[in-house]
Structure 1
Amino acid sequence: MATRDTTEPTNQPAVSTDEVVDWKTKLRYFLNSDFVRSSPYWGIPFVIMGIAVYGGIGYNLVISFTDYNGLEPPTFSSLDLEMYRTALASEAFREAAINNFVLLISFTAISLILGLFLAILLDHGIRYKNKVQTIYLLPMALSFVVTAQLWLWMFNPDSGVLTIIVTTFGFDPVDWLGNPQLALPAVIFALVWQFSGYAMVVYLAGLQSIPDDQFEAAKVDGASTIRTYLRIIVPQLKESSVSAAVVLMVFALKAFTFLYSLVGQYRPPNGTDILATLMVRQAFKFGKWAYGAAIATMLLLLALSVIAPYLAYQYRQGSL
């Protein structure tokens, strides 16, 4: 008598031997790849950077939602946007934000225009080309602290170089850093002096990559030198302009060190307050750590608004 098979049929397909072998081959290939074999070298720095940098950014973001004052541990049970509302309603914050934008736009625009002008002069073959290029590029090698101390001496209303020049022409001494109307323009002027040489080098590299045939063709057509540069040469410097502008804007956002050394951390604001100096003063002087964290988060968003469009542009151009 035949017995009936009571085994229930299964709907899952059987795994073939070829699939198992293929999976093992892929795993073996991955374990022997340069990515895995080099992980002991890049893995530890990657973890440290992740904890110290991105972990710190995340913790700062969480702190900004609390009322942490630096004396007692922060309470994470009730997180809200109170510090952000306080910042947006503060006149000091609005003034610092406006100064930040004025510094960002003015410094970048003036540096680009001056750098382009100097690059055109150098590309046109002026005398002492190498010496001029070195003189204008040298300030960029100086740190913010050194530059600030140099201009602090030059802006001195009693014995500074600018005071001597002004009084020589019969004018009264000017307190450049003590006058709220002149302090921010003085800071922008000093930063332009330091970084316009960078824009000059970037533009000079772009100009030297343009074939000489275009200049010759413009001369044959009767175009003047100014018209040749404005109509033909400068429009081809779009890549150079974008690259230089992004780097200069990043330097403008990092101007805290310069302003800290020039006007001091705890000195009352004199028209040069930006978000970074306001953040440090609120956190370290007044102990408003949560408020300072909120300002730092908004400053980070401002920096991302500068970097992200540039990265997107480079990605569309196929450079990333």
Structure 2
Amino acid sequence: MLHSIFRRLVSLGCGDERSDDIRTDGGTATAPASTTTDQTERSWLESEFVRSLPFWFPPTLLMGLFVYGAIGWNAIISLTNWDGFGNPDYSNLDFSMYAQMLGDPTFVAAARNTIVLLVVFTVASLIVGLVLAILVDRGIRFENTFRTIYLLPMSLSFVVTAIFWAWMYNPQSGLVNVVLRNIGLGFVANDWISDPQTKLGAVIFALMWQFSGYCMVVYLAGLRAIPSDQFEAARIDGASTVRMYWRVIIPQLRASTMSAAVVLMVFALKAFDFLFVMFGDTPGPSTDILATMMYREAFSSTNWAYGAAIATVLFLLALVVIGPYLYVQYQRGDL
């Protein structure tokens, strides 16, 4: 017993800090609660989560405030009757703006044009991009040159593309009508961006010209990832080139198609820049889309509540486009 007491005194004198104390009866005693708490706090402060806070917390806070906070505030404004003057009244929130929207023929036309632009532009760009990718993948000469030429329009902004195609569609000096007249098809020449029957088609064709090269690159990467022995097996089985691509190759490009389609649909919803540069904020019923109508109602007519309601609908439409893609990626474990 005296020996145990002597060892305890020596350990205290030397400053030996141990989690287990020696009892006078020769056993051990558990460490005080304060020591355990200090160790827990120290391990938590040294954890990877705490050490990574300075890198992800500030941008997350800023994004939550200025992006998602702004989206939430916009949704609240859409439930008011704010006309842009004074402060919005949050005491009487209702869905009157959405009810007005459903009975507004301008909104119905803009929503229809948005859906048509979304679907036709996406499908046409995917088809053209797939054809270009197949042609480039078959080992044509100057492949890198053609690939660069096809992808170059993607690097241009909507503003540059709109100015370029406004000149191309000029009824007198535009390249489109000049070429048609020179090849004997002058009767087809038209004022493409003034005729209500051709305005939306002209916009879709210009956007398709800009983004089909992007689809080509996505599909080309998918084609290069397919093992070459599948091509050889299809040829040995006697499949023609068209049948081989239709039955064997194209079904394996679903991931490429989905990723390219999502990007194209997002850009279709963001086509405001293109239409605003080409037509201003009043493109007319045949070309008006939700984005231009939102701008016109909010900034030209100072009807902020109605513009916020249209913006909310546009945001929900974007979620409908992106949501399924994110769900599929999550199911695959890519998120």
Contact 1:178 1:270 in 2 (8 A): no
Alignment-derived partner of residue 230 in structure 1: 246
Alignment-derived partner of residue 157 in structure 1: 171
Q: CA deviation at 1:223?
A: 1.1
- Higher RCO (C-alpha under 8 Å, 6+ residues apart): 1
Q: CA deviation at 1:114?
A: 0.8
Are 2:308 and 1:296 aligned?
A: no
Q: Which ranges of 4 or more aligned residues in structure 1 deviate by more than 3 Å?
A: 16-27
Cα distance 1:30–1:269, how it changes in 2: closer, same or farther (>3 A)?
farther
Which secondary structure state, in structure 2, belongs to the residue aligned with residue 80 of structure 1? coil
Kindly provide the CA deviation profile for residues 193-236 of structure 1, in whole angstroms up to 9, marking residues without a partner as x: 00011111111001001111111111111111111111111111
Alignment-derived partner of residue 286 in structure 2: 271
Stretches of structure 2 lacking an aligned partner (at least 5 in a row):
1-29
Q: CA deviation at 1:41?
A: 3.5
Alignment-derived partner of residue 227 in structure 2: 211
Q: CA deviation at 1:18?
A: 8.9
Are 2:126 and 1:112 aligned?
A: yes
Instruction: Give the alignment partner of residue 239 of structure 1, picking from 220, 243, 255.
Output: 255
CA distance in 1, matches of 2:248, 2:134: 13
Are 2:121 and 1:91 aligned?
A: no
The structure having more radius of gyration, on CA atoms, is 2
Alignment-derived partner of residue 200 in structure 2: 184
State the identity as a percent.
Answer: 57
Alignment-derived partner of residue 69 in structure 1: 83
Instruction: Give the alignment partner of residue 276 of structure 2, picking from 240, 260, 264.
Output: 260
Q: Which amino acid aligns with 2:46?
A: N
Q: Which amino acid aligns with 1:272?
A: T
Cα distance 1:218–1:77, how it changes in 2: closer, same or farther (>3 A)?
same
CA distance in 1, matches of 2:38, 2:108: 60
Q: Which amino acid aligns with 2:224?
A: Q
CA distance in 1, matches of 2:164, 2:116: 23
Alignment-derived partner of residue 6 in structure 1: none
Cα distance 1:26–1:305, how it changes in 2: closer, same or farther (>3 A)?
farther
Q: Which amino acid aligns with 2:329?
A: Q
Q: CA deviation at 1:33?
A: 2.5
CA distance in 1, matches of 2:187, 2:141: 35
Contact 2:78 2:309 in 1 (8 A): yes
Contact 1:115 1:200 in 2 (8 A): yes
Contact 1:183 1:270 in 2 (8 A): no
Q: CA deviation at 1:25?
A: 4.3
Q: CA deviation at 1:128?
A: 2.1
Are 2:80 and 1:58 aligned?
A: no
What is the Cα-based RMSD across aligned positions, in Å? Answer: 1.8
Are 2:325 and 1:310 aligned?
A: yes
Kindly provide the CA deviation profile for residues 173-212 of structure 1, in whole angstroms up to 9, marking residues without a partner as x: 4111111110101000000000011111111001001111
Stretches of structure 1 lacking an aligned partner (at least 5 in a row):
1-15
Are 2:221 and 1:199 aligned?
A: no
Are 2:286 and 1:286 aligned?
A: no
| Length, aligned pairs only | 304
Q: TM-score, normalised by structure 1?
A: 0.90
CA distance in 2, matches of 1:194, 1:71: 40
Kindly provide the CA deviation profile for residues 292-319 of structure 1, in whole angstroms up to 9, marking residues without a partner as x: 0000001000000111110100011111
CA distance in 2, matches of 1:196, 1:53: 30
Alignment-derived partner of residue 139 in structure 2: 125
Cα distance 1:301–1:25, how it changes in 2: closer, same or farther (>3 A)?
farther
Q: CA deviation at 1:277?
A: 0.3
CA distance in 2, matches of 1:268, 1:187: 11
Contact 1:64 1:291 in 2 (8 A): yes
CA distance in 1, matches of 2:245, 2:33: 64
Report which stretch shifted further, 119-128 or 74-83.
119-128
Kindly provide the CA deviation profile for residues 73-116 of structure 1, in whole angstroms up to 9, marking residues without a partner as x: 11111000000000111100011001111000101101111111
Contact 1:260 1:277 in 2 (8 A): yes
Q: TM-score, normalised by structure 2?
A: 0.86
Q: CA deviation at 1:171?
A: 2.0
Contact 2:110 2:285 in 1 (8 A): no
Alignment-derived partner of residue 237 in structure 2: 221
Report which stretch shifted further, 297-306 or 210-219.
210-219
Contact 1:203 1:237 in 2 (8 A): yes
Contact 1:154 1:162 in 2 (8 A): yes
CA distance in 2, matches of 1:235, 1:59: 43
Q: CA deviation at 1:272?
A: 1.0
Instruction: Give the alignment partner of residue 190 of structure 2, picking from 150, 169, 174.
Output: 174
